[in-house]
Amino acid sequence: MKKIKKSHIIIGIILLVVCIFAIIIQTNPNVSYFFLKLVNPDFDKRVITFEKADYYGFATVNGDIVAAYRDNIKIYDTDLKEKETISVSGVDPTVKTNGKNMVVFYPSENKALVKIGSETKNISTPYYILNATVNKNGYYALITEEKGFKSQVIVCDNKGSEIYKWHSSDYYITDVSISDDNKHMVLTSLAPDKDTIKSSIMVFSFTDEKPIAQIVKTDVTYISASFINKNKIALIGDKKAGVFNLNLSPVWEEDYSTKQLFTYSADDKNIILALGNTKSASEKVSVKIYSPSGNLKGEFIHNGEITGIDTSQNSILVYGKRNLYNISESGKVKRQLDLNIDILHAFTVKNGVFVVSNSVGKIYYLR
């Protein structure tokens, strides 16, 4: 039998220690926090200030932080160092993103900005823009007002060329999503009907002039429609939510008509619903996590209102008025942080959670 060299033993011990240390850092938040403070004493002092958060839009795009102000749009890295300033201005900017590309629009104006990768396009329309979306390939859609109609939707490819337009004479279009194969879009829309409101969902193929599928409901008002893959659509309403096929036949649907929907999230991994009865601080809110096929993966119970859910960076962030929770798909709390500020917006970034309060944006580390 050959003798093992002493140098090989030392190398093996070093590798073992490194592996154990890496596991400890990954599984113990307090050790991770200490290590980050050791290598970068200022890592938890990252902050930006602004006039008032209610006036602005925030999102994470390609791992960076986007802040759409009234005077311009700034892009920061996760140390909150400014990387880029885009010269565009407007009132009440809204940022829509799929995590890769973004569209910024101003609801009381007729202009928008689309950023696809490193390329930025300024857009103007004859009418006010009401909502917008962009998919991972850079195809985008704008919902606008239009004279003689309730509203219209304009779809453009990633070069900015118009590929589809549809006018609505009966319904006010409220939301839009484009499939990632660039072949279909889905719209939510509303119309008054005697003493009630009709909620319509329409699916379009860009090769057909009229909808290829439509459902009309009076027992639920759909507020969001999004493609979670090329042929499945997540629909979120005030009383029901579920996943539907392209022909709008249901894969599954959850009825929560006796509850209040606080907030939600839908993507290709999870459909997440925060449900409760009232906004009382003592009220228990149930955050239910479903798979796209409708299986209940887990549930997180929180005392008090849940105001937001974020699923960027492949994690689930749930937050209330002053609490942040990183939870697993089974609903187990992995990390949490209680703050002494009111949380208006929050989303996960590479090395923490970016939190927007009244006039400050700061990155916090959950322990």
Position of tokens 């195809």? 139
Provide the pLDDT confidence category of residue 258 given band limits of 50, 70 and 90.
very high
Position of tokens 């290709």? 268
Q: Tell me the average pLDDT across 16-39.
A: 50
How distant, in Å, are the alpha carbons of 61, 66, 75, 91, 359 from that of 85? 14, 10, 6, 17, 19
Q: Which of 230, 259, 226, 257 is nearest to 243 (CA)?
A: 226
Task: Tell me how far apart the alpha carbons of residues 175 and 139 are, in angstroms, rounded to a whole number.
Answer: 15
Task: Tell me how far apart the alpha carbons of residues 116 and 270 are, in angstroms, rounded to a whole number.
Answer: 25
pLDDT digits (tens, 9 = 90+) for 282-318: 689 999 999 999 999 999 999 988 999 999 888 999 9
pLDDT at 263 over 60: yes
Terminal-residue alpha carbon distance, the chain: 49
pLDDT at 76 over 80: yes
Would you say 81 and 75 are in contact if contact means Cβ atoms under 8 Å apart?
Answer: no
Write down the pLDDT at residue 193: 86
Provide the pLDDT confidence category of residue 29 given band limits of 50, 70 and 90.
very low
Task: Tell me how far apart the alpha carbons of residues 114 and 108 are, in angstroms, rounded to a whole number.
Answer: 17
Q: How many residues does the chain have?
A: 367
pLDDT at 36 over 90: no
pLDDT at 11 over 70: no
Write down the pLDDT at residue 312: 87
Q: Tell me the average pLDDT across 223-237.
A: 97
pLDDT at 14 over 90: no
Would you say 222 and 228 are in contact if contact means Cβ atoms under 8 Å apart?
Answer: no
Q: Which residue has the higher pLDDT, 314 or 250?
A: 250
Q: Tell me the average pLDDT across 81-108.
A: 93
Strand ordering across the sheet containing 47-49: 47-49, 360-364, 352-356, 345-349
Q: Which of 322, 350, 318 is nearest to 334 (CA)?
A: 318
- The token pair that represents 11 in the structure block: 């190398």
Task: Tell me how far apart the alpha carbons of residues 279 and 266 are, in angstroms, rounded to a whole number.
Answer: 23
Q: Tell me the average pLDDT across 101-128.
A: 93
Tell me the H-state helices in the chain: 6-27, 29-39
Beta bridge partners, 177, equal: 186
Write down the pLDDT at residue 272: 98
**Cβ atoms within 10 A of the Cβ of 211, count?**
17
pLDDT digits (tens, 9 = 90+) for 145-182: 998 889 999 999 999 999 999 999 999 999 999 999 99
Cα radius of gyration rounded to whole Å, the chain: 23
pLDDT digits (tens, 9 = 90+) for 213-225: 999 999 999 999 9
Q: What angle do CA 291, 292, 298 make, to 5 degrees?
A: 15
Write down the pLDDT at residue 336: 95
Provide the pLDDT confidence category of residue 13 given band limits of 50, 70 and 90.
low
Share of the chain above pLDDT 90, in %: 75
Would you say 335 and 28 are in contact if contact means Cβ atoms under 8 Å apart?
Answer: no
